[in-house]
Structure 1
């Protein structure tokens, strides 16, 4: 049994989910007041987001809801990676203004990522068609040789083919100039 093949857009979607989730998790976390990560936190974040991106890229099909779900999971993984490494822990549901601003920051990052990825998916087809047309090698013009012309039947039948273009009209035989 062979594994199902994924489309190029599914792989690109996975890569975009992984990369944008990491970037937007840092932005959402910083916007929410959680601080910006150190090198250890970034390493943990990249590993987690790469895993989310790989899982997203392996999903065949999937619409907007699957994309939003993958991005929400990515934001959760990103938040957990950043909060673990930055040592700010949550004790249950954090309904403080800082906690709500953190949730809103991650939610806004999810919506921004989904919008960017959907726009890129819509533009993938037209952009690749234009690039293929621009980068397609042009064939060399055929060289006409005497052998090729005779092989095509023009050499021997030339007078018959050009008969319509040659005028046979001349002065009457009886009239002399």
Structure 2
């Protein structure tokens, strides 16, 4: 069974892999994805997110997430290039240019640090939110100190001895 941390980590890694690979690819003058390239990038993001959500002992470390995200960035780059046949015909190679590789690595590093920070802050932040939103607990009263207060009004009976009539008013003649 997966922990909530692992599920959130997998979703965060998959989503940031897709969004950052498309953004870094576009910033380095690689263009934005067409329909088939976008589907391939989404598949890569789902795969990287599922692999990073695999349960393991302890929390994810920055180098481990960085390796997964860099792999995801370069797999996304290949998906973006292969998914756009016009780019292949106009000289866009499968191997990224140095500027594009630098953008992909920088985006991966920043995202890995942010995902690890979010995973570490998930527990304390949810504890604060739970403590603020939960209703206060009732204090336990020792049995000898409980005082029963008599009700000033008579209580209604719990059982109705007669049925409630469903008959309406007479119809006009």
- Separation in 2 of the partners of 1:80 and 1:127? 38
Displacement of 1:122: 2.3
Are the counterparts in 2 of residues 40 and 85 from structure 1 also a CA contact under 8 Å? Answer: yes
Structure 2 residue 148 is the aligned partner of structure 1 residue 152: no
Verify the 8 A CA contact 2:3 2:55 in the aligned structure 1: no
How big is each residue's C-alpha offset from its partner over 1:108-165, in whole Å with a ceiling of 9 and x where there is no partner? 11112112212211221221111110121224578x9xxxx9x62788xxxxxxxxxx
Contact 1:18–1:49 (Cα < 8 Å) also in 2: yes
Instruction: Give TM-score, length-normalised by structure 1.
Output: 0.69
Given the superposition, is the C-alpha separation of residues 140 and 59 from structure 1 closer, same or farther in structure 2, using an over 3 Å criterion? closer
* Other structure's SS at 1:34 match: coil
- Structure number with larger C-alpha Rg: 1
Q: How does 1:18-57 map to 2 (within 5 A)?
A: 18-57=14-53
Matches of residues 72-91 of structure 1 in structure 2 within 5 Å? 72-87=70-85, 88-89=87-88
CA 1:116–1:43 in structure 2 vs 1: closer, same or farther (change >3 Å)?
A: same
**What corresponds to 1:102 in structure 2?**
100
| CA distance in 2 between partners of 1:93 and 1:38 (Å) | 19
Counterparts of 1:111-130 in structure 2, within 5 Å, are: 111-130=109-128
Change (3 A) 1:70 1:59: farther
Structure 2 runs not aligned, ≥5 long = 148-173
User: Could you tell me how far 1:42 is from its partner in structure 2?
Assistant: 1.3
CA–CA distance in 1 between the matches of 2:114 and 2:64? 15
Distance 2:127 2:31 in 1: 43
Q: Distance in 1 between matches of 2:133 and 2:94?
A: 56
Question: Do the aligned partners of 1:24 and 1:109 also contact (CA within 8 Å) in 2?
Answer: yes
Q: For residues 146 and 16 of structure 2, what CA distance do their matches in structure 1 show? A: 64
TM-score normalised according to structure 2 size: 0.71
> RMSD of aligned C-alpha atoms?
2.6
